[in-house]
Structure 1
Amino acid sequence: MLSICRLDWPPLLRAYSSGVRTSPMKNPVPATFLRGGTSKGIFLHRDNLPTDRAEWPRIFLGIMGSPDKEHGRQLNGMGGGVSSLSKICVVGPASRDQQAQGIAVEYTFVQVGIRDSSIDTSGNCGNLSSMIGVFARDEGICAPPSPGGTHMTVRSFNTNTQKIIDTTFPVADSFAALDLPEVSIAGVPGKASSILMEFVQPSGARTGKLLPSHSPLDLLEIPASSTETRTLRVSYVDATNPTVFVGSVDLCQFLAFDEYTQGSSSAAAARVSETLELIRQRGAERMGLNPAAQAQPKVAVLGAPDKEELAQGVDIVVHALSMGVLHRAVPMTVGLCVGVAANVPGTLGWEIVQQSHTARGESHGEGMVRIKHPSGVVDVGAEFSEDGTVNSAKVVRTGRRLMKGAVWW
């Protein structure tokens, strides 16, 4: 005879899953686990956290299972041992002043350290930003779409960068419909609904300037050995997230960069990683940022496409780092920054894209840029006004609801 065992949640978890508050420091805390683009993260409603933000870090560390000094796997939490899986978004309704500007929701992105206890809010995550509108609609933070509408746009304000991001996605029964087989993105299997993400006036996300050094191209001198120095051509660009761009050709002259990207040499990885971190720190100083904040600026190594890639329409090849780790897919804020930089005359990105256009016999102009990264390709675009101001940066992402419930910290 089949016996059915009824599993009962602890009273505390039942209380929080039903929205009943029994303590200002609740544990577990209501949470939603979402994939946005090529990242996954925990989304929290701001009202479910203490009003004293000084109490947030220990909650975030507990949620992610950090610090995991010995193993770096975050097995005691929801983190996955890599920076793209150790992220949190705190979302709440916009203020009255923001609502008067058409903003529906405000959010803060948190990059949680893996082996250490760092809580970094110096930048934003483009991939998880694509799901802010979806989460806000699920939680009732923003109003439902117009009756009969097939799509809705949610305007959000990111507190990290003080920037506005619009996300547009299909809806069904007043909520986001994420499982339509519309598009696929590199690094994620299968097709899903298209989420158009548009960063409004993305320049100066951290520094207040598109070109923090006031030049599209700078020279950076770094030690190549104990007795030798190298001068690198770099571009410092701040759009969606500040990024230091350096050419792969320059790096390959004194580093085994190809071995580093292929993961074939631990010795090469150690030396390249050390050099790229030095470039990031020097770039941070030049951009007026804190060199000790490892999440900002990002570092992206740019290269020209080969013949096969050119034939596929690739304009530029990118290897990007975040938190000192080479990404398997380009972080979306970095991809958008590349898209902007490629349309700014004189930058390294602009030079490479112009060369690609020439090789294919195409006219040079503004528009979409096709980026090749370790997981595939992505098209990004930027719109400029006549005076050179960046009006917006756009990209298509997909997302998926993974879990909704409560998480212990």
Structure 2
Amino acid sequence: MKVPNPLPASFLRGGTSKGVYINRTRLPVSQLLWDPIFLGIMGSPDPIHARQLNGMGGGVSSLSKICVVGPPSQELRSRFPGLDVTYNFAQVGIRDGAVDYSGNCGNLSTMIGVFALDDGICKPKDSSLRKDPKTGATTATIRSFNENTSKLVDTTFPVRWKDQTRSWIPVLDLDQASLAGVPGRASQIVLDFLFPGGAGTGKLLPTGNAVDMLRIDTPSKTGLSIRASLVDATNPTVFITSQDLREILGLPSDSTPIDHSNPDVVAIVEVIRKTGAVRMGLDPSLQAQPKIAVLSPPSNAGVEIGVHAFSMGVVHKACPATLALCLGVASKIRGSLAWDLVPSSQTRDPNSLVNLQHPSGVLTVGASIDANGEVLSAKAVGTGKRLMTGSVWW
């Protein structure tokens, strides 16, 4: 098929990310033909300036993303009754020409249902419509299938009936929720990843262990070891502690702050991430997966875990949603590094929420785990905003 240029698309904020959303019917059937289109849309590669001025990207990983949304195949409808849409997430490289389809984006997943209704890909089922007895607002739930991880994701958000079009319209400007790192308040969007374990590797604990020892070599020392929890829920992630990282860095005490943006620190964290990737059975050359986060004891009351997350080789200004969700799950895994940081009263409660302190504020996540230790769902609250709809040149 001949892909139009410019290409119809929407530009949306989901959580703490922004991205371009495209109806799958407007793209070639073969995913192998998508890369040059997505690179053109984002303005990549930009090896010298890394600003993506020739495209929609913003020079950082959280602004260089694309979601492709479409109707489910008959085979998927048969496998998952009630499925509304499918989507594929692409992380577009900034300096290079890489397009990574290996994982999902929790932030942009927040707006999959909204885009699907706006673009007429699906309609909410009557059974998914609920009325809040306190506010009177009606919400709809859209069930999507993420093709990157083969996982189901529900998004629930306010809607209103529009008589002119005889359809339900997403409402995003209600004064319901705030999100750390995003100014103002907006409608609450509940993101629910169903059975999120093994999204990238097929196992919640790819090595079978709550904690592994990773042997690493730095430019100045060889044969070092560091503890890591290798957890795969919503997206595979390597978790380490600030205390252990300080020892690797040779910092004198727990009171010495870590400059997570320091190039030397970033380089060592990347070595740890790649080593963890190999242990998880993943390709260490892919920057998008697994992600890595440094965990620390909370510095504020009402917070359980401090987290500095890294994405595409750069320390994140907030926390990727899928990483936060994975951390929420990790906090329920007995013996993991996250488990050790959370008060025992919460770890024992399979449905308790965990407050995460990241550089831009606090994020609350939850995980539901049954008596056998199976993760039933991972939840987070987000917000989103329509920024533009029209056509994008590639």
Q: TM-score of the superposition, structure 2-length normalised? A: 0.91
1:309-341 CA distance string (max 9 Å, x none)? 1x2x10000000111010001000000000000
Amino acid at match of 1:365: D
Residue 263 of structure 2 corresponds to 270
Matching of residue 205 in structure 1 with residue 180 in structure 2: no
Residue 253 (structure 2) pairs with residue 238 (structure 1): no
2:139 aligns to what? Answer: 151
1:384 positional shift: 0.8
Partner amino acid for 1:403?
M
Single out whichever of 282-291 and 50-59 deviates more from structure 2.
50-59
Deviation for aligned residue 1:302:
0.5
Is the contact made by 2:124 and 2:141 (CA closer than 8 Å) also made in structure 1?
no
Query: Secondary structure, in 3 states, of the residue corresponding to 1:116?
Result: coil
Return the match for 2:282 from 276, 289, 307: 289
- Cα separation, partners in 2 of 1:30 and 1:380, compared to 1, 3 Å: same
- Specify the alignment match of 1:11 in structure 2: none
Give the partner amino acid of 1:382: A
Cα RMSD, aligned residues only: 1.7
Distance 1:228 1:98, change over 3 A: closer
Give the conservation status (yes or no) of the 8 Å contact 1:319–1:326.
yes
Deviation at 1:52, TM superposition (A): 3.3
Asked if 1:365 is matched to 2:345, the reply is no
- Aligned residue for 2:47? 69
Q: Matches of 1:37 and 1:164 in 2, distance apart?
A: 19
- Provide the residue aligned with 2:155 in structure 1: 167
Deviation at 1:364, TM superposition (A): 4.3
Separation in structure 2 between the aligned mates of residue 337 and residue 227 of structure 1, nearest angstrom: 31
Please name the residue that 2:135 is paired with.
Answer: none
Higher strand share: 2
Aligned: 1:126 with 2:106: yes
Report the alpha carbon displacement of residue 97 of structure 1 after superposing the two structures with TM: 3.0
CA distance in 1, matches of 2:242, 2:185: 32
The question of whether the paired residues in 1 share the 8 Å contact of 2:246 and 2:258 is answered with no
Cα distance in 2, alignment partners of residues 179 and 79 from structure 1: 25
SS in 1 for 2:177: coil
Give SS of 2:179's match: coil
- One-letter amino acid of the counterpart of residue 291, structure 1: P
Q: What SS does the corresponding residue of 1:62 show, helix, strand or coil?
A: helix
1:217 aligned residue (211, 219, 231): 211
CA contact (8 A) 2:64 2:94 kept: yes
Please, which moves more after superposition, 67-76 or 44-53? 44-53
Q: Show structure 1 runs of 4+ deviating over 3 A.
A: 144-149, 224-229, 256-259
Question: Larger Cα Rg: Structure 1 or Structure 2?
Answer: 1
Q: Check 1:400–1:253 CA distance in 2 against 1; reply closer, same or farther (3 A cut).
A: same
Aligned to 1:48: 26
| CA positional deviation for 1:271 | 1.3
Work out which of the residue numbers 256, 272, 280 in structure 2 matches 1:279. Answer: 272
Partner of 2:384: 399
Q: Does residue 1:188 correspond to 2:173, yes or no?
A: no
Distance (whole Å) between structure 1 residues aligned to residue 294 and residue 100 of structure 2: 23
1:348 equivalent to 2:337? Answer: yes
Matching residue of 2:97: 117
2:174 aligns to what SS in structure 1? coil
1:352-393 per-position Cα deviation (integer Å, ceiling 9, x unaligned): 113xx57xxx78433101100001001100001111100000
Counterpart of 1:59 in structure 2 is: 37
- CA drift of 1:224 comes to 4.5
For residues 226-263 of structure 1, what are the alpha-carbon distances to aligned partners after superposition, in whole Å with 9 as ceiling and x for unaligned? 445322111000000000000110111242683423x5
Contact 2:339 2:347 in 1 (8 A): no
After superposition, the C-alpha distances for 1:187-208 in whole angstroms (9 at most, x for unaligned) are: 0001000000100000000100
Q: What amino acid sits opposite 1:353 in the alignment? A: V
Q: Deviations over 1:114-154 (max 9, x none)?
A: 00000000000000001000000011111145489611000
Cross-structure match for 2:134: none
1:329 pairs, out of 299, 315, 318, with 318
d(CA) in 1 for partners of 2:207 and 2:99?
27
Which consecutive residues of structure 2, in runs of 5 or more, have no partner in the other structure? Answer: 132-137, 162-167
> Tell me, which stretches of 5 or more residues in structure 1 are unaligned?
1-22, 264-268
Percent identity between the two aligned chains? 55
The 1:363/1:162 distance shift into structure 2, 3 A limit, reads closer
Equivalenced residue count is 372
For residue 137 of structure 1, give the secondary structure of its aligned residue in structure 2: helix
Distance 1:335 1:148, change over 3 A: closer
Cα contact 1:34–1:399 (8 A) shared by 2: yes
Partner of 2:14: 36
Give the Å deviation of 1:54.
Answer: 2.3
Q: Is the 8 A contact 1:98 1:104 kept in 2?
A: no
Instruction: Supply the AA of the counterpart residue of 1:322.
Output: S
Cα deviation for residue 305 of structure 1 reads 1.0
Q: Which moved more, 1:137-146 or 1:202-211?
A: 137-146
1:14 aligned partner: none
CA contact (8 A) 2:331 2:347 kept: no
Is the counterpart of residue 103 in structure 1 residue 83 in structure 2? yes
Q: CA deviation at 1:275?
A: 0.8
Match for residue 320 of structure 1? Answer: 309
The C-alpha deviation readout for 1:2-51, integer Å capped at 9, x for no partner, is xxxxxxxxxxxxxxxxxxxxx72210000000000000000000011122
Query: Partner of 1:219: helix, strand, or coil?
Result: strand
Q: Which piece of structure 1 moves more, 123-132 or 96-105?
A: 96-105
Q: Which has the higher helix share?
A: 1
* TM-score of the pair, normalised by structure 1: 0.88
Q: CA deviation at 1:282?
A: 0.7
